[in-house]
Amino acid sequence: MEQASALLDSTRRASFIGVMDNEPVLVWASHYLSDMAKALMDDAHMGMLKKV
């Protein structure tokens, strides 16, 4: 979850900078980073369910 949190922080920063500086590449990068963070959270959730 810590790695997902770091990715989400990077996502937020890239999105903000991309919009403020009119950099579509950063906006797209934030989109992909958010997908990676979601995948990490999904995997962590599945791992927590298996321990029960």
Rounded Cα–Cα distance for residues 50 and 52 (Å): 5
**Tally of domains within the chain:** 1
Reported residue count of the chain is 52
Question: What is the per-residue pLDDT across 1-48, written as a single tens digit (0 to 9) for each?
Answer: 888 888 899 999 999 999 999 999 999 999 999 999 999 999 988 888
- Range of 7's domain? 2-51
Rounded Cα–Cα distance for residues 10 and 1 (Å): 14
Rounded Cα–Cα distance for residues 23 and 13 (Å): 12
Q: What is the pTM (predicted TM-score) of this model? A: 0.75
